[in-house]
Amino acid sequence: MKRSLLYLALLLIAAGCGNSGNGELTGVPDRPTFYQADPYGMTFIPLGSFTMGTGDQDVPYAQTQQPKTVSLSSFYMDETEITNNEYRQFVYWVRDSLAHTYLGFSQVANAGQVPEHFIIDKKLNDRTGQGPDDPTNFNIDSTGAPVQPEQYIINWKEKIDWRGEKLAQGTPNPVDRLFLPIEERFFHRKEIDSRKLYYRYFWIDLQKAAKASNRWQHQKNAQGQMTGGGGNYSPAIA
């Protein structure tokens, strides 16, 4: 009987310790459960461990390094590595962009006429009128006559005349500069010279950009510039 009363008392005490949620401090209700989403194109690798050292055989008195267990914390890595076909797409993009640029500059832009390999970047011209130093930003034609300074971008819909069929007889094809010289070709095969594939890319060092000394100075006209191979930033001083 005494034991039954003891169990009943413990049950009542345990029931009284619960949170009814009717008090004044209840917290924000109906909050969604937090979930750490994987970054785009990344996959989550959970923490784990592996054995480092020789573990397939145990030779007596071999004086080899003893195996040990190494623990690794969780991290993210690329979901898929770049494939050969994806890299080929990038190389073709660089090749075609250079070909469009050479063909566009070879055409005469009289009276502000836009070459067929270029189109006007209306968005850029409407916003600032002065864009970056782009190869397709020209303000003179092949004769040296001034042309209205506008921003141009590549017209990817225009087909590239690799064989020079649209050129007049005897006119050299501008895209020939992309190919290997005749004396360097294997079995006289006309191939792209990889040394002539130039492209531009941009990167941002967020840690350096977050420093107050590297921020753009609104009261100055000039901006800082990157110098040196290590990416040293020199803030503008005027």
pLDDT > 60? residue 96: yes
pLDDT at 29: 78
Confidence of residue 161 (pLDDT cuts 50, 70, 90): confident
Burial of 143 (0-12, 13-18, 19+ CB in 10 A): exposed
Query: The tokens of 217 are what?
Result: 């100075």
Joined tokens for residue 154: 């590549």
What's the angle, vertex CA 147, arms to CA 141 and CA 152, rounded to 5?
A: 85
**pLDDT one-digit tens code per residue, 195-235:** 989 888 777 878 887 877 776 655 554 445 545 444 454 54
Angle among Cα 186, 198, 164 to the nearest 5 degrees reads 60
Q: Which residue has the higher pLDDT, 236 or 1?
A: 1
pLDDT tens readout for residues 108-152: 543 445 678 877 766 655 544 444 444 444 454 444 444 455 567
Distance CA 61, CA 171 (A): 79
- Token pair 């040196």 is found at 228
Amino acid letter, 205: D
* CB-based burial label for 207 (10 Å; 0-12, 13-18, 19+): exposed
- Evaluate whether 127 touches 150 at the Cβ level (below 8 Å): no
Reference 45, options 75, 25, 15, 67; nearest CA is 75
